[in-house]
C-alpha cells in the first residue's frame, strides 16, 4: 500500500480517505480472482478489464 501511495503521490491523505483507498485496492486485488475465473471461461480480455475498472470506479 505504501508503494502505491508513493507512485500516485497520495502520502498526504487523511485517515478517512486512506480507508477508502485501501478498500479500492483490496477490491482490485480481489478482482484478480474473478478475472482468473473469466479467463478460464474464455471471456474476452477487454471484458475482464471492464469488470475490474468499473468496480474500482464504483468505490
- Domain ranges within the chain, ordered by starting residue: 2-58
pLDDT digits (tens, 9 = 90+) for 2-46: 887 888 888 888 888 888 888 877 777 766 666 666 666 666 767
CA 32 – CA 51 distance, rounded (Å): 10
The sign of the torsion formed by the CA atoms of 3, 8, 13, 18 equals: negative
pTM of structure: 0.49
pLDDT score of 51 more than 80: no
What is the pLDDT, as a whole number, of residue 40?
65
Amino acid at each position: 500500500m505504501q508503494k502505491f501511495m508513493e507512485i500516485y503521490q497520495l502520502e498526504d491523505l487523511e485517515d478517512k480517505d486512506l480507508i477508502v483507498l485501501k478498500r479500492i485496492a483490496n477490491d482490485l486485488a480481489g478482482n484478480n480472482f474473478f478475472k482468473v475465473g473469466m479467463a478460464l471461461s474464455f471471456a474476452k480480455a477487454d471484458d475482464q478489464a471492464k469488470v475490474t475498472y468499473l468496480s474500482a470506479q464504483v468505490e
